[in-house]
Amino acid sequence: MTVDGGVDEQAGWSERIDTSTPHPARRYNYWLGGKDNFAADRESGDAIAKVFPAIRTTALENRAFLRRAVRFLAAEAGVRQFLDVGTGIPTANNTHEVAQSIAPESRIVYVDNDPIVLTHARALLTSTPQGATAYIDADLRDPASILAHDSVRGTLDFDRPIALMLIAIVHFLFDEHRPYDTVRRLVDALPSGSYVVMTHGTSDLASAAMRQHAEEEIRSGRLRLDAVPRSKDEIARFFDGLELVDPGIAPIVEWRSTVPPQDRPPLADAALYGVVARVP
């Protein structure tokens, strides 16, 4: 079954589409060759690609990590509920597709704050008859609104384990957004046996030349980053008190990859860490 976000909520989506400001989901869509983006998204995407030419590789490897993480959760950890915050515009191998291919009864709630994402989600992210999907219009910066949403509470059972998916979204939280407190509020709502999955941008894996180029572009004003790369130690703080699943905090191209090392892209071409951790 499929559960939508409610008629009243959907009615205001079209009025909120801001085509003058780049949105991460639409920019990601542009990098992957999609058509659901605007000039501002493409200009921002091109500016970032000049500094990080392998950004499309990063996007593809991030999606591959999601597939592996969800497969682990559904097949090995027995998780049947997923809260995917920062859904992005649907592409192949979305969270519910991977989970329900293993366990058709899996229940998934997608969360995003971009009307275009939600419109596509309603049209394309169709559940199996045994399971359920829901899509809500909410913002990671307001975790209370996510947790209190009727579709979240109506789709997920907070007495049973839930996988909180934070894929390439937390690095859009600046210090003023209180990122550690924001993530912790979501984690604290999860029952024991739940999991937290995160990919996060980092400069740890970039080459010295790439870091220098980025700094020069930022100083010149040609590049405006709307994300905060964090070090491995900074990312580890999000998982205080949780049990890291082997191999812990690792570059996404290495996390439980079945691709031979010699065939993987260089770490600098996919400068994200990936993490899966269990709530004790």
Res 20: pLDDT: 83
Q: Where are the domains of the chain?
A: 2-278
> 195 with 277: CB under 8 angstroms?
yes
> Amino acid letter at 231?
S
pLDDT(275) > 90: yes
Closest CA to 91 of 68, 71, 113, 62: 62
Backbone φ and ψ of 260, nearest 5°? -55, 140
Length of the chain: 280
pLDDT(267) > 80: yes
Backbone φ and ψ of 193, nearest 5°? 90, -5
> 252 with 272: CB under 8 angstroms?
yes
- Give the alpha-carbon dihedral of 113, 115, 121, 123, to 10 degrees: 160
Please tell us whether the domain made up of 2-278 is placed in CATH 3.40.50.150: yes
Angle between helices 39-51 and 24-31 (to 10 degrees): 70
Res 230: pLDDT: 95
Reported as a single tens digit per residue, the pLDDT across 188-223 is: 999 999 999 999 999 899 877 777 767 776 777 676
And the tokens for 211? 């870091």
In angstroms, the CA 100 to CA 15 distance is 33
In angstroms, the CA 95 to CA 199 distance is 14
Strand partners, 2: 133
**Number of Cβ within a 10 Å radius of residue 272:** 25
Q: Which long-range contacts (CB under 8 A, 24 or more apart) does 228-234 make?
A: 228/171, 228/172, 228/173, 228/174, 228/175, 228/179, 228/201, 229/171, 229/201, 229/202, 229/203, 229/271, 230/171, 230/200, 230/201, 230/202, 231/202, 231/203, 231/204, 232/202, 232/204, 232/273
> 126 with 91: CB under 8 angstroms?
no
Reported as a single tens digit per residue, the pLDDT across 17-59 is: 678 888 888 888 888 788 888 899 899 888 888 878 888 899 8
In angstroms, the CA 184 to CA 77 distance is 22
Res 142: pLDDT: 97
The three-class DSSP label of residue 227 is coil
Res 16: pLDDT: 61
Res 223: pLDDT: 66
